[in-house]
C-alpha cells in the first residue's frame, strides 16, 4: 500500500478521539447488539475500518479471525495490530463470495454519495457474508440527542473549549452533503437495508442506528 498524507476529514477523524476511546466505544456497541455472543471462531470483515480500532474491539471480545477493509491507505497504515487489512471500495469489494461469517460497519455508509451506492454496498455485503452469517450496521441517525449535539458543536465557544467538539464539527463540515442527505432519508435507507438484512436486533437512539441482522435469503 502506497502512502499519502491524511486528508482534512481523515485528520479531523483522527483528532476526534483517541484510539483507546474509540475501541471502548466500539466494544460497548458490539456488546449492546449481542455481538460478543457469536461463535468465537467467526471470520469477521470490518468494512470502512479506518485506523482499525473496531478490529481491536473485536479482538478484545475474543475474536481473532478479523480482516479490515477501507479505501484510505493512510488510515489503514495507522492500525497497530496483526489483523490483515485490504484497501478497496466497499461498492466493489476485492473479496470472494461467502468469505465471512460476520460483516460489520461502524459509521461508513453515510459517506456514500447516493442511495444507489448504498444499495450496491449492501449487495456486496450480502455477497461476501455466508448465508447463515450476521451483518452489523452502526450509523448516525436523526434523534433529539443528535440535534442537541450539532447545536452545541456549531458554537464557536464550545469549539474553542473542546478540541473534540472542534474535530466533530470539522468532520461534519467536510461531509455535510452526504451526512445531511443520510439523516434526511431514514425510510428510504431502512427500505434498502431490509432488502439485504433481516433485523434480529434494531435500536435507534442517542443519535445512532444500531442493527444486528442476518442476510435476507437469496432467491
> Hey, where are the domains in the chain?
8-215
Cell numbers linked to 144: 433529539
DSSP structure string for 187-217? HHHHHHHHHHEEEEEEEEETTEEEEEEEEPP
What pLDDT does 1 receive? 57
Render pLDDT for 141-183 as a digit per residue (tens, 0 to 9). Answer: 999 999 999 999 999 999 999 999 999 999 999 999 999 999 9
How many Å apart are CA 206 and CA 133, to the nearest integer? 27
Render pLDDT for 75-115 as a digit per residue (tens, 0 to 9). Answer: 999 999 999 999 999 999 999 999 999 999 999 999 999 99
CATH superfamily of 8-215: Vaccinia Virus protein VP39 (3.40.50.150)
Helix (H) or strand (E) holding 163: helix 163-183
What pLDDT does 187 receive? 98
Strand positions, DSSP E, 66-128: 66-70, 85-87, 100-106
Amino acid at each position: 500500500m502506497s502512502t499519502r498524507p491524511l486528508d482534512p476529514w481523515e485528520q479531523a477523524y483522527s483528532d476526534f478521539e483517541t484510539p483507546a476511546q474509540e475501541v471502548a466505544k466500539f466494544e460497548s456497541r458490539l456488546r449492546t447488539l449481542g455481538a460478543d455472543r457469536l461463535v468465537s471462531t467467526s471470520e469477521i470483515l470490518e468494512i470502512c475500518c479506518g485506523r482499525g480500532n473496531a478490529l481491536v474491539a473485536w479482538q478484545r471480545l475474543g475474536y481473532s479471525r478479523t480482516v479490515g477493509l477501507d479505501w484510505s491507505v493512510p488510515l489503514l497504515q495507522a492500525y497497530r495490530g496483526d489483523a490483515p487489512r485490504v484497501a478497496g471500495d466497499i461498492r466493489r469489494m476485492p473479496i470472494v463470495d461467502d468469505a465471512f461469517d460476520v460483516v460489520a460497519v461502524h459509521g461508513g455508509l453515510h459517506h456514500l454519495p447516493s442511495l444507489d451506492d448504498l444499495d450496491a454496498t449492501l449487495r456486496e455485503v450480502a455477497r461476501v457474508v455466508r448465508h447463515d452469517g450476521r451483518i452489523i450496521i452502526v450509523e448516525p441517525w436523526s434523534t433529539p440527542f443528535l440535534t442537541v449535539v450539532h447545536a452545541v458543536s456549531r458554537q464557536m465557544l464550545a469549539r474553542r473549549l473542546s478540541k473534540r467538539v472542534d474535530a466533530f464539527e470539522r468532520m461534519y463540515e467536510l461531509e455535510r452533503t452526504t451526512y445531511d442527505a443520510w439523516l434526511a432519508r431514514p425510510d428510504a435507507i431502512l427500505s434498502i437495508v431490509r432488502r439485504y438484512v433481516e433485523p434480529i436486533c434494531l435500536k435507534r437512539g442517542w443519535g445512532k442506528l444500531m442493527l444486528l441482522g442476518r442476510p435476507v435469503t437469496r432467491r
